[in-house]
């Protein structure tokens, strides 16, 4: 078999690579190049034939398992094939479970452990397999680790440490890779003598090419087990590693081995005995010399700074440290060696310098935190026990329907002042500045100026005030971090509805560090800010640094500015919320995120617990593994850096009360005031509008459900329940994420348009559709200033797949209502739309659910989900179809739009995303398209554009809008590869048919369905659609 394999394409003299070697008689006789070429000419292409022979090679090696020469030749064939064009196919077939390739290779290595030639070939093949995989690499590594590969390769290293350089290099490389997948490899290395072997290899000063792989492997293994660093210290690793470093200091260029060795020394310095040993070996002086070395670079300098921090904790090390110049010299060295750096490169090393000086933990007093501990209700609806109470449109006209017009008072958890301080600007105010508010253009040197300014805290610490001037928890403010009298401090407050500011610290007379609250019962989700300021001096420039934001990127670096409301300006000129600030920047800071809270652990384990319930039996080990995995995830997340938003602004009026916020606020009280005002604003409101309470939240706040549709004709006669039931139903929701306040302004514009009594288009939409609107799905989060979660620390947009009536009542009852109307009542649900804000993109755009697969003919029905976003693009210059995405990812399967599409069969299921910043295509007062910030009027206008885009879906055949619908479908089919020139007959009418497939859409990491997982799986199958025939009828238009 092996001879045949060589004959069809193996290299002519593979055994020559092994040097002088006697070949036994039973070894293979190799054909000549001419013979093999002749076979290829006959059609036996080596690459094509080789793919089918993977199993043959594996079987042959197993058959000649005890013959090291024949087995080695078989492995050499695999290694050769992996480097050809068919390498990917060979790789996939070799690692497949049924082939048994990986177990065979490990078993062969174990059997021929003492054969250097065989182990060299086998280790080279294993390295190639592990690093060949790309996306499949993790699968190979896990399989090798599961089959005991870690212990096996440590044994290989122990046996061949002095014999073969190539084996040592390959084995160290494999152990470094396995360390990422095998949690027990550190303990195995310690117990099997692997650490001692690596130290012996490093002591071979004559073989310098082994120092890098050995030290790298030692670093990987030492980091995997907390007992390994002390073991290395006891075995004399510190003098050896220090000697390796010190011998290279005189050279002008530091080798890579020094950088790896320094990382290993950092691990050992965390051990008290290791730090003492390093001090005795002159470690402090060595670190200072490395810090000032011309070829050190910022990466090595960061490692050296961390090491010095641990050495300075040792009494002898502290004395050496101060004798060499201490922190002042370190700052001078860093500034001198990095003088030519700017931007992120300079920021990176300066952040490490701050961490060296102790700027690691946020300046918080965490002994007392606000948490939600109230007894929750059962989440039952307020009106009735039956879900039919929420379809008042089917109640015969004249019968009593319970409305809600009274102003509902907010029930809150965070501490509010009494009465609540909130801006006097009402939510119904449609204030619009004279022209577009431009985006902020950052000066080129802004980041450098900000970094050098912050360095003053280290170089001139005597000028830093560091005084706590505000805390949102009622306690005596005596926590001056550096006690000194504050100079004319501002008076801060966030104890009002939707407010979020935890602490304010005065740094300089006119500069403040601000710390925000995370979401209640969680250590995460920190972005929304909203606070009040008093006591400002007019004309003075104040600087504010919000220091505990979480997201790594932000629109604040692309021109976004915060909004401000001035009580005095509003009283004098009627000026409402407007953009303020200059020197606006968003950048990383040295502070670590807060440690997780118990609710965070519960949420991290929830997905694994659900999977565990599906299994028949779950052992204690399985449960412990879930806890361990969740803790690791949270620990990794908590180790991340915080980010700072910094901006400057001045105030025009003395003794003013000003409010600063992330975006235009729209509170729960604003919503209730607005809804209560509707009967006074609109005549005959009861003829087409009802306001009910869908349910109570866990904090006993109302979740409003609005129903808008025409109950009476123009002549005053009422529609029958049967006539109204024949109308399609549209569901709209917003504010499932409390910090995305712009969503409420869009819903407000939509409601105002639908209730416009004198607008024919509004009447048209009411006559043909039933609108079910939940304007605030998460009122608890809105009231208490959360950014993303409810009071139970849950992201409600991840609860749709299995909502809990008690924990997430608003999601539970809204999903139940959609199912009831569609399934129980048999009515046609046309659309579901959840409205969100986005903090990383400009413009408006949508996320939809499209079932177009590769190699699928594109028909008009298949482009249905893409039609509404394209119509909205034609209505609004600020809408971006290019940013819209229609891919369904596994990470998004529990979101509202995906569940309603997939589980409830509503094809037009969308998320509308509104930028928190603005657009490049705003229409200025002069009629030009310019870049600028969105204002409240722009958000409200988008609600109108959404309705205008939906109108062609319900118009009659005689309406001119049907032509626009046909044009859009033609355009989409052309873009997606459809052949619109070849109509086919269906039901007596013409319909276009496509010829090619639609490309996939890549969905970005978005705020509404965030987090942070990208998924590359193929598009999901289309949901069972009960109304598929209706959809086809909708698009059977005449050409």
Q: What angle do CA 790, 801, 605 make, to 5 degrees?
A: 65
Chain Cα centroid distance, residue 137: 23
Per-residue DSSP letter, 951: G
Angle in degrees, 0-180, between the axes of helices 297-311 and 283-291, rounded to the nearest 10 = 150
- Name the one residue in this structure whose structure tokens are 């909203």: 530
How far apart are the C-alpha atoms of 209 and 219, rounded to whole Å? 17
Q: Is the peptide bond before 844 cis (omega within 30 degrees of 0)?
A: no
Reduced 3-state DSSP string for 620-641: HHHHHHHHHHHHHHHHHHHCCE
Helical ranges in 887-935 per DSSP H: 896-902
Decide: helix, strand or coil at residue 187. helix
Q: Which two three-digit tokens encode residue 409? A: 């008072």
User: Strands of 657-661's sheet, edge to edge?
Assistant: 491-493, 530-534, 657-661, 563-566, 578-579
Task: Spell out the residues 6+ positions from residue 318 whose beta carbon is closer than 8 angstroms to its own.
Answer: 312
Angle in degrees, 0-180, between the axes of helices 68-82 and 116-132, rounded to the nearest 10 = 30
Q: Which two three-digit tokens encode residue 698? A: 């866990």
How far apart are the C-alpha atoms of 129 and 152, rounded to whole Å? 16
Q: How many CB atoms lie within 10 A of CB 199?
A: 18
Chain Cα centroid distance, residue 401: 44
Angle in degrees, 0-180, between the axes of helices 297-311 and 272-280, rounded to the nearest 10 = 100
- Name the one residue in this structure whose structure tokens are 């959360």: 786
Instruction: Tell me, yes or no, if 913 is annotated catalytic.
Output: yes
Q: Which two three-digit tokens encode residue 677? A: 């005002």
Q: Which residues, listed in sequence order, are joined to residue 646 by a DSSP beta bridge?
A: 545, 585
Long-range (24+ apart) CB contacts under 8 A made by 815-820 are 815/899, 815/900, 815/904, 816/387, 817/387, 817/390, 817/694, 817/705, 817/772, 818/731, 818/900, 818/904, 818/906, 819/904, 820/387, 820/388, 820/391
Long-range (24+ apart) CB contacts under 8 A made by 976-982 are 976/852, 976/858, 976/863, 977/858, 978/857, 978/858, 978/859, 978/863
How far apart are the C-alpha atoms of 265 and 306, rounded to whole Å? 10
654 within 8 A of 567, measured Cβ to Cβ: no
- Strand extents, DSSP E, 35-132: none
Please choose, from the candidates 843, 853, 866, 845, the residue with its C-alpha nearest in 3D space to the C-alpha of residue 975.
Answer: 866
How far apart are the C-alpha atoms of 304 and 171, rounded to whole Å? 29
The active-site residue, picked from 913, 1003, 1009, 1033, is: 913
From residue 464, give the alpha-carbon distance in Å to each of 458, 459, 486, 509, 512.
9, 10, 10, 9, 11
Q: What angle do CA 255, 256, 257 make, to 5 degrees?
A: 90
- Name the one residue in this structure whose structure tokens are 């005084």: 467
Task: Spell out the residues 6+ positions from residue 157 whose beta carbon is closer than 8 angstroms to its own.
Answer: 168, 171, 172, 175, 194, 197, 198
Q: Which two three-digit tokens encode residue 204? A: 């071979």
Angle in degrees, 0-180, between the axes of helices 256-269 and 272-280, rounded to the nearest 10 = 130
Catalytic residues: 913
């Amino acid at each position: 078999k092996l001879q045949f394999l060589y004959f069809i394409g193996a290299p002519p003299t593979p055994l020559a690579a092994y040097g002088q070697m006697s070949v036994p008689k039973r070894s293979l006789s190799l054909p000549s190049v001419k013979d093999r070429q002749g076979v290829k000419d006959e059609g036996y292409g080596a690459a094509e034939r080789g793919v089918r022979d993977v199993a043959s090679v594996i079987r042959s090696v197993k058959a000649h398992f005890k013959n090291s020469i024949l087995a080695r030749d078989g492995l050499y064939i695999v290694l050769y094939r992996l480097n050809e064009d068919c390498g990917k196919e060979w790789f996939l077939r070799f690692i497949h479970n049924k082939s048994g390739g990986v177990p065979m290779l490990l078993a062969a290595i174990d059997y021929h452990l003492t054969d250097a030639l065989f182990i060299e070939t086998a280790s080279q093949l294993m390295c190639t397999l592990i690093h060949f995989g790309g996306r499949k690499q993790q699968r190979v590594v896990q399989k090798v680790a599961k089959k005991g590969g870690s212990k096996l390769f440590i044994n290989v290293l122990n046996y061949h440490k002095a014999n073969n350089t190539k084996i040592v290099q390959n084995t160290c490389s494999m152990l470094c890779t396995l360390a990422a997948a095998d949690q027990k490899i550190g303990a195995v290395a310690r117990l099997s003598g692997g650490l001692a072997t690596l130290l012996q290899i490093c002591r071979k000063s004559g073989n310098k090419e082994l120092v890098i792989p050995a030290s790298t492997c030692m670093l990987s293994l030492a980091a995997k087990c907390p007992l390994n660093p002390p073991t290395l210290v006891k075995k004399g690793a510190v003098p050896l590693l220090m000697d390796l470093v010190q011998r290279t200091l005189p050279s002008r260029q530091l080798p890579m081995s020094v950088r790896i060795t320094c990382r290993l020394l950092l691990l050992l310095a965390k051990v008290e005995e290791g730090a003492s040993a390093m001090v005795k070996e002159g470690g402090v002086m060595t670190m200072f010399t490395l810090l000032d070395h011309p070829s050190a670079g910022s990466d090595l300098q960061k490692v050296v700074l961390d090491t010095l921090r641990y050495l300075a904790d040792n009494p002898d090390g502290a004395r050496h440290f101060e004798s060499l110049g201490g922190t002042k010299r370190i700052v001078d060295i860093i500034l001198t060696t990095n003088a030519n750096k700017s931007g992120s490169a300079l920021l990176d090393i300066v952040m490490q310098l701050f961490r060296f000086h102790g700027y690691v933990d946020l300046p918080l007093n965490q002994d007392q935190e606000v948490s939600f501990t109230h007894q929750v209700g059962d989440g039952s609806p307020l009106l009735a026990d039956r879900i039919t109470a929420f379809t008042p449109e089917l109640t015969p006209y004249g019968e009593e329907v319970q409305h809600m017009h009274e102003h509902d008072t907010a029930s809150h958890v965070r501490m509010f002042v009494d009465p609540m301080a909130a801006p006097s600007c009402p939510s119904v105010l449609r204030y619009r500045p004279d022209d577009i508010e431009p985006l902020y253009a950052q000066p080129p040197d802004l980041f450098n100026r900000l970094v050098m300014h912050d360095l003053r805290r280290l170089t001139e610490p005597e000028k830093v005030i560091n005084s706590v001037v505000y805390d949102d928890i009622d306690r005596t403010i005596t926590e001056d971090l550096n006690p000194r009298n504050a100079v004319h401090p501002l008076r801060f407050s966030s104890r009002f509805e939707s407010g979020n500011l935890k602490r304010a610290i005065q740094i300089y007379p006119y500069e403040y560090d601000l710390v925000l609250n995370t979401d209640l019962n969680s250590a995460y989700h920190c972005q929304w800010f909203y606070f009040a300021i008093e006591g400002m001096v007019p004309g003075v420039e104040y600087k504010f640094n919000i220091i505990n934001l979480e997201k790594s990127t932000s629109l604040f670096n692309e021109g976004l500015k915060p909004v401000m409301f001035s009580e005095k300006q509003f009283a004098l000129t009627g000026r409402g919320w407007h953009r303020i600030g200059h020197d606006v920047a968003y950048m990383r800071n040295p502070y670590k995120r807060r440690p997780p809270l118990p609710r965070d652990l519960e949420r991290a384990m929830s997905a694994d617990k659900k999977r565990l319930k599906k299994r028949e039996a779950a052992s204690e080990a399985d449960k412990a593994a879930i806890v361990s995995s969740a803790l690791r995830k949270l620990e990794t997340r908590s180790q991340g850096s915080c980010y700072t938003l910094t901006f400057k602004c001045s105030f025009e009026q003395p003794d003013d009360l000003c409010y600063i916020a992330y975006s235009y606020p729209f509170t729960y009280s604003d919503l209730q005031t607005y809804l209560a005002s509707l009967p006074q604003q609109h005549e005959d409101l009861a003829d087409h509008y009802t306001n009910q309470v869908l349910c109570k939240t866990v904090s006993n706040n109302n979740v409003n459900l609005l129903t808008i549709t025409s109950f009476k004709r123009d002549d005053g006669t009422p529609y029958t329940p049967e006539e109204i039931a024949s109308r399609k139903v549209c569901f709209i929701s917003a504010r499932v994420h409390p910090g995305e306040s712009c969503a409420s302004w869009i819903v407000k514009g939509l409601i105002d348009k639908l209730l416009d009594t004198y607008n024919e288009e509004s009447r048209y939409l009411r006559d043909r559709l039933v609108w079910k609107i939940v304007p605030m799905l998460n009122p608890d989060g809105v009231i208490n200033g959360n950014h993303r979660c409810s009071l139970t620390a849950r992201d409600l947009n991840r609860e749709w797949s299995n909502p809990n009536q008690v924990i997430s009542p608003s999601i539970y009852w809204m999903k139940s209502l959609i199912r009831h109307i569609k399934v129980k009542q048999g009515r046609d649900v046309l659309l579901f739309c959840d409205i969100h804000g986005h903090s990383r993109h400009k413009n408006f755009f949508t996320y939809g659910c499209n079932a177009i697969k590769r190699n699928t003919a594109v028909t008009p029905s298949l482009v249905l989900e893409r039609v509404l976003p394209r119509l909205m693009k034609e209505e609004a210059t600020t809408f971006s179809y290019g940013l819209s995405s229609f891919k369904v990812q596994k990470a998004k399967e529990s979101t509202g739009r995906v569940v309603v599409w997939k589980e409830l069969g509503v094809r037009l299921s969308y998320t509308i995303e509104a930028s928190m910043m603005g657009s490049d295509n705003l229409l200025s007062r002069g009629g030009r398209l310019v870049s600028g910030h969105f204002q409240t009027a722009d958000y409200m206008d988008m609600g109108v554009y959404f309705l205008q885009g939906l109108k062609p879906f319900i118009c009659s055949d005689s309406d001119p809008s049907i032509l626009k619908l046909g044009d859009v479908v033609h355009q989409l089919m052309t873009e997606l590869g459809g052949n619109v020139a070849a109509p086919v007959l269906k039901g007596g009418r013409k319909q276009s048919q496509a010829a090619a497939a639609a490309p996939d859409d890549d969905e970005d990491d978005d705020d509404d369905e965030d987090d942070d997982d990208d998924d590359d799986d193929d598009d999901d199958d289309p949901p069972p659609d009960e109304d598929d025939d209706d959809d086809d009828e909708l698009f059977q238009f005449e050409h």
